Structure 1
């Protein structure tokens, strides 16, 4: 471990904290700060730690128990008062003892402590909202499984599979979402993470997130309305526009399509269905579909395909086959 490098990074984060809290901080400096954050996940961690310590110092300064303990240490005995009156100081010893009291309190506060670990999951066709203790709202889409691990120092979500929308609660602890080879660091925002196998898609609705390869890899900062895909090896695709209309529709239980292929529609709808829809003829896959469909209304979709696109449904025990228009 390069202790000197870590110390320098902590110093840089502390310097940024002081500059951003200054009333003279300019827009250019704030932009430079965001660029510095995006340069590395370690920068984000150092910044959040600097903020946490800043808040900790404020909390310790107003903690009644610590103030009382420090007051007892700093209050001179009659003999000490006599020595002070004679000009013989005792302040160095008392101040050191008081600092020790504060330091012990700080160490106790900063220890991670036992983590609170909770499993959350939905079955096929189910969507469920979960409100976490820190105020974070998670909307779990169909067939989704994740684990939350919260301790005093950080909040971590491990996504096993499925899709989740996060509205992150305000908290000084870092909020991380780990999915396959990717780690998403939130900086107060609303975003979505989807995992299929070891391929992960991240879309940002509002705020700022930093996506990295694992916890230590290079980062990619997303702006609102952007998305990126991370492959199983941790490689990023080019950042592209997020379809905000579609992204905000699925949390309402809707699919909004504009000139999307029929096979894409069926693949999405089948995520919510016990009995899947299949194409009897692969040439039907490229039919362009427009419309708004409820994810929990498979019969409504079938009716729309029959009435508007001339398809015909054949119901079987374990699937529903879609045939083309009669010739």
Structure 2
């Protein structure tokens, strides 16, 4: 059997198990299923890919744009109706979608690139330029996105998966038996309960900090190999290159400011003025511009409301006795 044929056979088996384990015979088949999944890391990986097909469920609560109201979600259902929906309709829907994909249906982007078996929710979580916003997921987790950020979300019966496409996020992950997987660049963080900050910087690095709970990290797509899985240390800023397949972790200075960024504030022990302005420009409607290298080299320290451009500019002008000139192309800071 060729490598491609073997992969296809494993994927077919994973799809079949996905349907069986959502049917009425799941309790009887549990032992056999677990034995199959444990027999080969490729089985485990194939099932992870397949299970994401069921993401078209309610994803968010507490937002008019996302999902139904909490009251309607908590409305009582007759037990036999609930069982039919989960064991009958869900399995049938999965089987029909598998069939459609096998017959050449359109691919859906997802946790494994363009793998059609890993569909994300139709509507990602997105913030506009200058916006900081919190979202509540149906599992009880809270996601706060920084300016210009996008997070794709997939919640299934067996896993909770998010992918940070750009920007920065704080994930306050609610306790659940389902693993919570965070994909960002070449890395995948896995936990069941944690509070994690993760985000891209301007130099192609992804920074992350575990502030509460426990989590592990591994190269994306290699989570079945125990030798590459590492425990994340608590309260330790780390970074890796977004395109580094080997996922080499290193220490990271707190270039985004401190942990209070969801409020729009940043605090620095010392930072060059041009770097501080660059942080503020992530929120500014028009850029703050420093032309004079001598001003750019000045150092600042303290707490700054970088998300409020006018307030931020006034404070810099007062601290460093600078003149502020507003032009069509930006806000210029100059010597008086």
**If the length of structure 1 is used for normalisation, what is the TM-score?**
0.63
> Could you say which structure has the larger radius of gyration?
1
Determine the structure 2 residue equivalent to 1:211.
217
Question: Cα–Cα, structure 1 residues 244 and 315, in superposed 2: closer, same or farther, change >3 Å?
Answer: closer
Determine the structure 1 residue equivalent to 2:187.
182
SS of equivalent to 2:237 = strand
Determine the structure 2 residue equivalent to 1:321.
332
Segments of 5+ residues of structure 2 without an aligned counterpart are: 1-5, 11-33, 49-78, 81-86, 98-118
Q: Which moved more, 1:255-264 or 1:295-304?
A: 295-304
Give the alignment's Cα RMSD to 1 decimal: 3.8
Contact conserved, 1:207 with 1:223, CA < 8 A, in 2?
Answer: no
Q: CA deviation at 1:214?
A: 1.0
Contact conserved, 2:283 with 2:308, CA < 8 A, in 1?
Answer: no
Counterpart Cα distance in 1 of 2:255 and 2:294: 30
Question: Cα–Cα, structure 1 residues 208 and 277, in superposed 2: closer, same or farther, change >3 Å?
Answer: same
- 1:1-327 matches, within 5 Å, as 10=38, 117=121, 118-196=123-201, 199-216=205-222, 218-231=228-241, 232-240=243-251, 246-323=257-334, 325-326=335-336
Q: Which moved more, 1:224-233 or 1:192-201?
A: 192-201
Segments of 5+ residues of structure 1 without an aligned counterpart are: 12-41, 47-64, 67-104
Q: CA deviation at 1:282?
A: 2.4
Contact conserved, 1:159 with 1:177, CA < 8 A, in 2?
Answer: yes
Counterpart Cα distance in 2 of 1:295 and 1:120: 23
Counterpart Cα distance in 2 of 1:8 and 1:242: 44
Counterpart Cα distance in 1 of 2:277 and 2:256: 19
Q: CA deviation at 1:10?
A: 4.2
- Count of residue pairs brought into register by the alignment: 241
Counterpart Cα distance in 1 of 2:272 and 2:216: 32
Counterpart Cα distance in 2 of 1:148 and 1:220: 24
Normalized per residue, the structure richer in helix is 1
**If the length of structure 2 is used for normalisation, what is the TM-score?**
0.61
Q: CA deviation at 1:131?
A: 0.4
